[in-house]
Structure 1
């Protein structure tokens, strides 16, 4: 029997990679999207692809009733902190109300369905040097509406598990990048460098923000493999960090990229990219998750960045 799996957020960066993995393993996949941030024209899933605004309770209920999933990978979200400042209403409605609609639908239909809640390191907020790598028992004090919405999403999953027995797992995802990613440091840098290489950007300047911030970075292909492992081996009702094991200053990412391109470039710090509340370091302990699932990070940042450069070369 093939697993019947619903992936929300197929139009996002992780969703496309996850659907590919699940279908390669023989799963019957329903993939839903809304306002995609990833170009879906080159994707070719074998299962159903349906547009669904998770804020639409009737639509969510109808899909659950028709498809009867055994697993739900809940990735759909308004996932940009900067956008959450500009539009906190849409962020909360999408991330919180959308999550309620899924869990309520599963409850009302009495489905035997396990849910992976894709949560975020943004739930922790400001973390000091002596508190990293941050562990799951650290206080949750988010710094923006997006982080607040993810705390609410995680707590909803816990509440529905405790009160109604709906099995769910929360994975607090730390910085993740890879081919197809948009609007993060690695994506912006690799895209700009390919634009320079192709003569699209003649200034040969790399626009940067704060070069001193530090991030543990994981390749998306390692992350989606972790999702699959979590669904099969992690403990329901629990929350897990999923973080890279090595921390990089942004300037170190620039240095790696210098060795991956065949030309020199200037670095220009743009004041508009300096955030008023930018976490100085984002780095989590994945020991709990590793111990229960056997997962480990396999793809080094150098390979990730090279693959991202190749990706931009292919579409620009």
Structure 2
């Protein structure tokens, strides 16, 4: 099988190309301004620099390779950045997605009218936006049918990816899956609580000064390991219903102070913690978990990696870095 993973310079994409390569797939990864160290990837994996904002580069790769599956993960993926760079965010995320589908149409027009790949598009829980704040009482599980009310340009761009994919499915009969992804973490991740805590913990371990800079440790989050996320994406490519949307979310909720305790247990040392005001938000989001009933029913997916395992792997990753 031939597979393209766009955004293979990111946490999820880099792990996905590794796994596909290990499974014997003929895989190409594309990257542009990678957020991970792509020199960590085996040199036998073919990586091509490609800015998905420019359709000609995307078209060239797809016309030449004609993959059976396309995992479209390339994106400007930071909500905070989207406020400062809204044009780039919309252009990358929406136009980059259009480029994928138009390239498939061109393969059909120029080379093979029966070309029929599966496209899995990495959408986001950010599409739900204000709807998440309107859930009542103890209701925390969000279904795919919830209203889309994004609260920042990033969320809007992901709604655009989502709906443009549906449009190409309906009008051009291009098979696609719209995967609305909730919080995930793992090795190579940067700028989330688990990666920040594990990195600071290893810096403390190396210095011998067991201090840990923290924010609000009472906050709760549903977090999944990137391996469970990658498994879900791959299962959806094989077993998902074309044109449909699926939540991919952890079913387990963790309090931030519990994350710290897991790190302390694995390092074998208690931390002197101090609160950094810069890490405190005026308000913290309520706990949000995606309802994954549909994902489990259609693919058989289940969450397998424990948070303890994730933290152990991340600690060892930072030690080796």
TM-score, scaled relative to structure 2: 0.92
Residue 10 of structure 1 corresponds to 8
Structure 2's unaligned 5+ residue stretches are 109-114
Residue 265 of structure 2 corresponds to 259
Matched-pair contact (CA < 8 Å) for 2:117–2:174:
yes
Q: Distance in 2 between the 1:166 and 1:65 partners?
A: 15
Matched-pair contact (CA < 8 Å) for 1:19–1:45:
no
Q: CA deviation at 1:113?
A: 1.4
1:159 equivalent in alignment to 2:167 = yes
Q: What SS does structure 1 have at the residue aligned with 2:27? A: strand
5 Å matches for 1:89-238? Answer: 89-110=87-108, 111-126=115-130, 127=132, 128=135, 129-199=137-207, 202=209, 204-238=210-244
Q: Distance in 2 between the 1:122 and 1:54 partners?
A: 21
Match of 2:306 among 271, 295, 300: 300
Matched-pair contact (CA < 8 Å) for 2:181–2:248:
yes
Q: What SS does structure 2 have at the residue aligned with 1:154? A: helix
RMSD: 1.6
Match of 1:273 among 272, 279, 291: 279
Give CA deviations for 1:50-70 in whole Å, capped at 9, x if unaligned: 100000111111111111111
Q: What SS does structure 2 have at the residue aligned with 1:198? A: helix
Structure 1's unaligned 5+ residue stretches are none
Report how many residues are paired: 311
5 Å matches for 1:18-29? Answer: 18-29=16-27
Residue 69 of structure 1 corresponds to 67
Give CA deviations for 1:257-276 in whole Å, capped at 9, x if unaligned: 22222222232332323345
Give CA deviations for 1:239-264 in whole Å, capped at 9, x if unaligned: 11111111112222122222222222
Q: CA deviation at 1:217?
A: 1.0
Matched-pair contact (CA < 8 Å) for 1:245–1:297:
yes
1:58 equivalent in alignment to 2:50 = no
TM-score, scaled relative to structure 1: 0.94
Matched-pair contact (CA < 8 Å) for 1:20–1:45:
no
Q: CA deviation at 1:293?
A: 0.4
Deviates more, 1:32-41 or 1:256-265: 256-265
Matched-pair contact (CA < 8 Å) for 1:114–1:166:
yes
Residue 112 of structure 2 corresponds to none
Q: Distance in 2 between the 1:136 and 1:92 partners?
A: 23
